[in-house]
């Protein structure tokens, strides 16, 4: 097959990582693939998924000759796509999906596949494209239900394919080692001022208003004074400085740490004790998937698809939005768990995530879907 994976910009988010992984996996399966972005560059522009290439060809194309900073600007998209004569165009991200309907109309013989992998409000063009595309992939069951009920898209035209694990814990000897604290994990903790006994809360996410790291700082501020804890907020983005100021204003500068953007956060997962998330806008959280695969229990506010990232009440706890007391109580209970309970929970979380979000399984689901669409 000839496949275009369309993405506006290779910033550091989960959707962009999925674009890279799928592009390389499709090419590895013997397909001719173009990863087409609107803007050149980006944090992940020089990155790869680590999937070995065994066949096929992957080409990267940026439509803007230089970075204009405009995520929506896709000069020459339609003729460039037509010149490649794709069998399938897979649209990732809000901006790319806004063009899915126009691409389907311009290339009627191509199977244009839109995706629903956001909990943010959808622009009008996005909603229109979801109805016009040949098919829609939702990355959670709750996202599919929204498409069917709110947008009235026929259920047969929507498939659920979960996100793939980007960082494979099986390839990382530190995965799940937060219990035994391997040497590198011990070093990571020491570098951030955490002792072996410190209960480390971890969130890996872009700093955006909807990711709501401020709420995690406020929750942590109410933990018992006798508990030795730290909160690590890894990532970068526009709200990072505001979170830094909040932590300092609350006198928490020695307990709230900002490790910065991590191209591969596996080392942080290995060194932490629990994954925490207060995001108000999700469809399926890559962070919670990865942390579960690494054996971390999770506590998260309710949002679209969150409960599909864990085994509820066993490897993770979904808290009603805004209920800080319940969130804090779940953390206190996890901190008090004996080592054998922690080990059993870590093993179950890792087994669940590595099975449910296995990249080979998800890539196969996409390729099977493409084949069905082309035969229809």
Judged against a pLDDT cut of 50, whether residue 3 lies above it is answered with: yes
The burial of 128, by beta-carbon neighbours within 10 Å (0-12 exposed, 13-18 middle, 19 or more buried), is given as: middle
**Contact between residue 24 and residue 44 where contact means Cβ atoms under 8 Å apart:** no
Return d(Cα 368, Cα 74) in angstroms, integer: 29
Choose the most confident range, by mean pLDDT, from 116-120, 162-166, 168-172, 325-329. 325-329
Q: Which residues contact 206 (CB under 8 A, 6 or more apart)?
A: 11, 12, 13, 235, 236, 237
pLDDT digits (tens, 9 = 90+) for 300-356: 999 989 999 999 999 999 999 999 999 999 999 999 999 999 999 999 999 999 999
Residue with tokens 């953390």: 331
Position 163 confidence tier, pLDDT thresholds 50, 70, 90: very high
> In this predicted structure, what is the pLDDT of residue 283?
83
225 versus 297: the higher-pLDDT residue is: 297
Judged against a pLDDT cut of 70, whether residue 361 lies above it is answered with: yes
Judged against a pLDDT cut of 60, whether residue 174 lies above it is answered with: no
Q: Which two tokens stand for residue 33?
A: 């693939």
Helix (H) or strand (E) holding 158: strand 158-160
Return d(Cα 288, Cα 294) in angstroms, integer: 10
pLDDT digits (tens, 9 = 90+) for 22-36: 999 999 999 999 999
> In this predicted structure, what is the pLDDT of residue 360?
93
pLDDT digits (tens, 9 = 90+) for 268-279: 999 999 999 999
Structure letter (DSSP) for residue 254: T
What is the average pLDDT across 239-256? 95
What is the average pLDDT across 37-46? 91
Structure letter (DSSP) for residue 101: H
Structure letter (DSSP) for residue 122: P
Q: Which letter, b or e, does each residue of 298-323 get, where b requires 16 or more Cβ atoms within 10 Å of its Cβ?
A: bbbbebbbbbbbbbeeebbbbbeeee
> In this predicted structure, what is the pLDDT of residue 273?
96
Position 121 confidence tier, pLDDT thresholds 50, 70, 90: confident
Judged against a pLDDT cut of 50, whether residue 202 lies above it is answered with: yes
CA separation (Å) from 256 to 134, 184, 218, 300, 310?
A: 47, 21, 11, 18, 25
Judged against a pLDDT cut of 90, whether residue 119 lies above it is answered with: no
> In this predicted structure, what is the pLDDT of residue 290?
93
> In this predicted structure, what is the pLDDT of residue 177?
42
Q: Which of 51-55, 143-147, 200-204, 307-311 comes out lowest in average pLDDT?
A: 51-55
Q: Which residues contact 149 (CB under 8 A, 6 or more apart)?
A: none
Judged against a pLDDT cut of 60, whether residue 176 lies above it is answered with: no
> In this predicted structure, what is the pLDDT of residue 178?
45
Position 54 confidence tier, pLDDT thresholds 50, 70, 90: low
> In this predicted structure, what is the pLDDT of residue 173?
45
Residue 85 burial (CB count, 10 A): 10
Position 258 confidence tier, pLDDT thresholds 50, 70, 90: very high
Q: What domains appear along the chain, each with residue ranges and CATH number?
A: 2-164+358-375 (3.40.50.2000), 169-356 (3.40.50.2000)
184 versus 274: the higher-pLDDT residue is: 274
> In this predicted structure, what is the pLDDT of residue 14?
83
> In this predicted structure, what is the pLDDT of residue 181?
56
Judged against a pLDDT cut of 70, whether residue 91 lies above it is answered with: yes
């Amino acid at each position: 097959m000839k496949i275009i994976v369309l993405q506006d910009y290779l910033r550091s988010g989960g959707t962009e990582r999925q674009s890279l992984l799928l592009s390389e996996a499709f090419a590895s399966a013997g397909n001719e693939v173009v990863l087409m972005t609107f803007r050149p560059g980006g944090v992940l522009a020089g990155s790869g998924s680590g999937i070995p290439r065994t066949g096929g060809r992957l080409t990267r194309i940026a439509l803007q000759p230089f970075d204009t900073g405009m995520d929506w600007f896709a000069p020459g998209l339609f003729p460039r796509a037509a010149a490649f004569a794709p069998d399938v165009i897979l649209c990732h991200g809000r901006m790319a999906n806004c063009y899915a309907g126009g691409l389907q109309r311009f290339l009627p013989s191509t199977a244009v596949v839109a995706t629903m992998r956001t909990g943010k409000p959808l622009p009008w063009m996005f909603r229109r494209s979801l109805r016009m595309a040949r098919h829609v992939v939702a990355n959670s069951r709750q996202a599919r239900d929204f498409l069917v009920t709110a947008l009235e898209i026929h259920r047969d035209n929507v498939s659920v394919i979960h996100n793939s694990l980007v960082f494979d814990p099986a390839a990382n000897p530190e995965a799940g080692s937060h219990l035994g604290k391997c040497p590198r994990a011990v070093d990571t903790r020491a570098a951030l001022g955490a002792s072996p006994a410190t209960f480390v809360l971890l969130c890996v996410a872009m700093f955006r208003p909807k990711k709501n790291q401020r709420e995690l700082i406020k929750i942590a501020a109410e933990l018992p004074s006798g508990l030795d804890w730290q909160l690590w907020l890894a990532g970068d983005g526009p709200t990072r400085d505001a979170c830094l100021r909040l932590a300092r204003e609350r006198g928490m500068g020695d307990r709230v740490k900002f490790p910065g953007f991590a191209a591969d956060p596996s080392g942080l997962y290995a060194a932490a004790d629990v994954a925490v998330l207060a995001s108000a806008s999700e469809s399926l959280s890559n962070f919670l998937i990865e942390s579960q695969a690494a054996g971390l229990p999770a506590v998260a506010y309710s949002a679209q698809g969150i409960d599909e990232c864990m085994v509820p009440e066993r490897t993770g706890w979904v808290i009603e939005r805004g209920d800080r007391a319940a969130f804090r109580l779940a953390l206190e209970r996890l901190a008090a768990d004996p080592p054998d309970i922690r080990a059993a929970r870590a093993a179950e979380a890792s087994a669940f995530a590595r099975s449910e979000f296995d990249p080979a399984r998800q890539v196969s689901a996409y390729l099977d879907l493409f084949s069905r669409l082309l035969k229809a």
